[in-house]
Structure 1
């Protein structure tokens, strides 16, 4: 009888060792201080570090101001997927929201990720980088070329 119990325990250990495992690139996304009505969309990367397909069955926000989106397609071993999280930035003030992620990971069937930040009308403007101003200059060159051909 002892051998039977030991065998079952040993088999259970191997079954858990060869399973799907959920891993996040980060468990908290800090928006920092942002302006009202700015882009509230952020992404969490989910990786399957196990050796069986990982399936996200549900992703649930703690309130209606946070909207998660995810795919129920299996995440193959070694592959990643994204959870898209949107926060309603029309709501002024600090926020700290919890998002529950449910999966078929036997050790972590319920994981928790967070978003936090502060929506403030006095937030600094985002600086424009040269990469974003460059495409605007391109049409001006094109119009010169068109003018030269007439």
Structure 2
């Protein structure tokens, strides 16, 4: 269980503050002493908050009292697993006085059982590090369809379907925001309109989409326990290059090697590679030939590393451009791995 530090804020104007450290229970323990002593008492030490929406931001209050005979001093409170803040109106409580821990926490993003702890450190000699166990059942309050989009460059509006967002608890909500990667996808909506279901008609910018073949659509909602919707999208590119990465092992400057590259046309368009060029010129590359294959063509290229190896550097990277007839350029990365040179034996040394 991951643990982290949070700050115990004080609402009173006393200016005092208490640090919530990680859940390692490393606060200073009070020592027992004769005479009246404080006693921190909670109504219970295990709390079940029932069903809570994923990603929900909650504030829950946990009452306690000083049932002892001396002044109770809370020195720190340890929180973890989504606890963002714990607030107290003060840190010292007279005998018989009550107080409240106000715990701010954020539910995790997926349906599951969420469990965490608070550890309250005080000068209660009988229980200087009192453990409170918390749990909640995380459920989906909002659902949407489709969950993921597959888009196409040769279809009207990229073949993007309508997006349906609805609440599962019949809680009306409003759409507060709509964003997408590079603004590839937009949609009209009314921030003031509330309903239990919305059907959006996305509009796709085909030019931007061609430059962003993977991305995300994010919706911001006003639902108290379902504030975000995230939809990933993938675009079928015009061309698929196989392999996507060229590798040259045991590379040596001036030593050529050959590789084959397939260029597949995903939309049935004709293609012809006119030339292959190097971007950074750490390697020389030239096309030896090409032949037609189903749905594309296959190239044979010759790769010659140029840069002499620098001491301590064994990997060189270059980007080649497959230049198609008509002006399109398809990039492909090439990594060349040099064999480290063996250190020379010192002059005059003898083999043992």
TM superposition score category, shorter chain reference: 0.5 to 0.7
Distance 2:170 2:55 in 1: 13
CA distance in 1, matches of 2:78, 2:51: 24
1:60-118 superposed Cα distances (whole Å, 9 cap, x missing partner): 1133x113223443111101101111221253221110111000111111100021011
Q: Which residue does 2:117 correspond to in 1?
A: 98
Of structures 1 and 2, the one with the larger relative CO (CA 8 A, separation 6+) is 1
Distance 1:23 1:94, change over 3 A: same
Q: Which has the higher strand share?
A: 2
Match of residue 117 from structure 1:
136
Distance 1:39 1:126, change over 3 A: farther
**Alpha carbons 2:40, 2:67 under 8 Å: kept:** yes
* Correspondence for 1:87 among 94, 105, 114: 105
Show structure 2 runs of 5+ residues with no match: 1-31, 143-167, 172-352
User: How many pairs align?
Assistant: 114
Q: For the residues of structure 2 that align with 1:28 and 1:35, how far apart are their CA atoms? A: 20
The correspondence for 2:60, drawn from 27, 42, 51, is 42
Cα deviation for residue 38 of structure 1 reads: 3.5
CA distance, structure 2, for counterparts of residue 22 and residue 116 of structure 1? 22
> Residues 126-145 of structure 1: matches in 2 within 5 Å?
none
Structure 2 Cα separation of the partners of residues 37 and 19 of structure 1: 42
Paired residue secondary structure (1:40): strand
Q: Please list every run of 5 or more consecutive structure 1 residues that lacks an aligned counterpart in the other structure.
A: 1-11, 128-150
RMSD of Structure 2 on Structure 1 (CA): 2.6
| Contact 1:55/1:72, CA 8 A, preserved across alignment | no
Counterpart for residue 88 of structure 2 = 70
* TM-score for the superposition, normalised by structure 1: 0.65
Is the contact between residue 79 and residue 119 of structure 2 (CA under 8 Å) also seen in structure 1?
yes
Report the CA distance between 1:25 and its aligned residue: 1.3
Q: Which has the higher helix share?
A: 1
Q: 1:31 maps to which residue?
A: 49
Q: Distance in 2 between matches of 1:69 and 1:41?
A: 10
Q: Equivalent residue of 1:77, what SS? A: coil
Equivalent-residue separation in structure 2 for 1:31 and 1:106 (angstroms): 30
Contact 2:64 2:100 in 1 (8 A): yes
Which 4+ runs in 1 deviate beyond 3 A? none
Q: TM-score of the superposition, structure 2-length normalised?
A: 0.30
